[in-house]
Chains A and B, each alone.
Chain A
Amino acid sequence: MRKTIAVLFVLLLGTMFLAGCWNSRELRNLAIVVGIGIDKIPNSEQYRVSFQIVNPHGASEGKARGSSSGEAPHIVYTSVDYSIFSALRKTTQKVPRQLFFAHAQLLVIGEALAKEGIQELFDFYERSHELRLNTSVAIARGTSAESVLKVLTPLTTSDATAISSRLKITSEIWAHNVDQDISSIIKQLAGGGEPAISGVRIVDSNSTPTSNLELKGIALLSKGKLAGWMDGRTARGAVWALNQMKSTNVNLDCGEMKNGISIEVIRSSTKVRAHVVEGKPAFTIKVKEEGSLSEARCSIDPGSKEAMLKLQQQLADETKQEIELAVQAAQAKKSDSFNLWAELKRTQPKLWERIQKEWPDIFAGCEVKVEVEAFIRRTGMRGKTFTQPQD
């Protein structure tokens, strides 16, 4: 009797296997999405979502490149619907395979959509178990996200990968852009501040397919809506303020020659302090950085102490200016893109509770002091320049 029960039990369990496997997906049936672009249809509530999919035939790094001649390394599909998830599923009408998102590297937001606000876009990312929270984000500048995704780039299999790796690299060595991923954006949006997102631009959009993409500028958002852009020195100031500065090259004046000396910033750390002045919040941004002399187009003798001190001071001033530019630009747009709210919340939680709702306005008016301490540690392989000082 016991044996029959056991056998029945096992048989019952065995029926599990008969029904098939529900979650198994063959690689052949997957379309691997590496980039997602979201645009808004003008005058409508619908999103236009684009998916950049890797073409597996042309994608293998190991095989000879271009063996299947003329095949594009990636393909872009678009669909229109009220929600991102619907658009995603709708795309299956066009794509012969099932879309697979776990490897999406980049999210591009169209500028028009960014102007209307980006807050609603991220719940889908949070809730899904396939999408990764460390996907890079960029805002398409002067164009739509779809066009950005459609651009082909050399040297990589897909430009979504290209952009995201570019973001990573350039934010670390040129520092005019930031590499923000979705989790930090959500942290910002949920907390009361604004995320700072890099912009991407198409250069020379006339000749396809070899048009090129360029990362340009940092977006200023106010209440989740695109309010303006920071470019050039302002953008770099923002990177400093965000404590994301890893390395960059600063041009300083040398005597009469403008931008004659270049200092490579090697290390930089920023600390933000919040205090209350007359019931209103005030911040001090303290930067401490180190650099080394990278290029001197005028003649300079680093051996002399005054020359070096002067250079250091110049570097500090330049940094301070850039940060101040960034802060002013942000305050003009009521956009706390520098995480100042987090510092305030941590040190003055009661004050934060009170002013949280009007933070963008208060931020625009609060006092921000910048203090920079710069050191120049090394001068490279040479000391004194070989050019003679011009008299």
Chain B
Amino acid sequence: MSNLIKDNAIVVDEWTRVTPPVLGEEVVKKQAGKVVLFKLTGEPTYSQEQIAATQIPATGKILLPLSVWQANVERLAGRMAAGEVGILIATHEPLEMLAATFADINELPLIAVFVERFPDGRIFTIGNLLRTRYGFKNELRAVGDVLRDQLFFLKRSGFNSYLIRADRSAEDALASLQDFTQPYQGAVDDKLPVWRRLNRSHA
């Protein structure tokens, strides 16, 4: 059973996510004994060694971290042209880097934003900026620690697909996309605040 929601329905995931291998020990940052820490905006995600050691499937649609794409631009140019490459960025990676890599961001059929832990609300601003500032029109997907209680906010921030965390039901999560009928403020999905959307003077 697929755990991918796209445009309000559960669909088969055609994309293979490519993840660089872990080399050596991973450092888990903690404060007061709890994992409450997030990577700072601009912190590097993978080392050059990890990027070099990354295995890329020879066929099919592949979802690559931006840094892996940057190291393989020439090799994968044909697959990009064929619409087989999507790009994944993490919430701490600057959007400017993504924008600078592609002359036209809409070359990409898919941009995925990886959220390591769900309380990292940078994902909402990233979604908003990709849609409103960078004009991205294709599939915008949330991946990682994606849970139903954040779906409504993700939708309003411009996402249209959500890979629900593997141990949770995408079926159950679908309902949360409809949590509120008429939200107050304008956002990406509906730019108008409620007072421009409806006539409230005699509601």
Bound pair: A and B?
no
Q: Which residues of A come within 8 Å of B, CB atoms?
A: none
Q: Which residues of B come within 8 Å of A, CB atoms?
A: none
